[in-house]
Amino acid sequence: MSPVVVLVGPPGSGKSTIAALLAERLQVPHRDTDQDVEAGAGKAISDIFVDSGEAHFRALERAAIVAALAGDGEVLSLGGGAILDAATRADLIGHTVVFLDVSLGEAAKRVGLSVARPLLLGNVRTQLRTLMEARRPLYAEVAKLTVETDGKTPDEIATEIQEQL
Ligand code: S3P
């Protein structure tokens, strides 16, 4: 019992888009742990953070990951911070984990951090950089395959993954 493939990577790496596309091509369900957490809590992740704090979100996320990894035959996408949990990293061993890598500039663009407002968005961009640098070794640790996503269409990325599954 195992997901077909598990996608990890920072916000803006395209996990949800690529996972949905891969699932469609492979004709299997797409499961996303962020969506599972939201469905279970009955509210948006942003509201969980505001109402109950990050630690509570991480606990919900961990439970969603344990449940999802026990599933079978799905394409699974994890939230960007899932790999911060050592138990999750250990659980990912043996699974077909794909790290969707992305540059800071491209990730910032994809999550809507336009460079046109540097004063407003500079801090957020710096936070994204810090987060990506700190997490890179953790994504690499769990990944069987790393795919560079900059300058590629979702179709190209999905094909690259399929060719190496
Ligand atoms: C998070 C990324 C989000 C979501 C939550 C925390 C993170 O998922 O799980 O807001 O810590 O990087 P995406 O990577 O899909 O944006």
State ipTM. 0.97
SS3 call for 8: strand
Whose alpha carbon is nearest atom 8 of ligand 1?
Answer: 79
Tokens for 146, please give them: 């790393």
Q: Are strands 5-8 and 145-148 parallel, antiparallel or unpaired?
A: unpaired
| Nearest CA among 45, 75, 70 for reference residue 60 | 45
CATH topology for 5-158 is Rossmann fold (3.40.50)
Residue type at position 22: L
Question: Does the beta carbon of 29 lie inside 6 Å of ligand 1?
Answer: no
Q: For residue range 100-125, list pLDDT tens digits in order.
A: 999 999 998 888 876 666 666 667 88
Whose alpha carbon is nearest atom 15 of ligand 1?
Answer: 79
Angle at 129 between CA 15 and CA 60, to 5 degrees: 50
Domain residue spans of the chain: 5-158
Query: Kind and range of the H or E element at 97?
Result: strand 97-101
Residue type at position 47: D
Whose alpha carbon is nearest atom 2 of ligand 1?
Answer: 80
Task: Give whole-number Cα distances, 54 to 45, 57, 68, 72, 158, in Å.
Answer: 10, 5, 20, 29, 31
Q: For residue range 15-65, list pLDDT tens digits in order.
A: 999 999 999 999 999 999 999 999 999 999 999 999 999 999 999 999 999
- Are the C-beta atoms of 25 and 82 separated by less than 8 Å? no
pLDDT at 125: 83
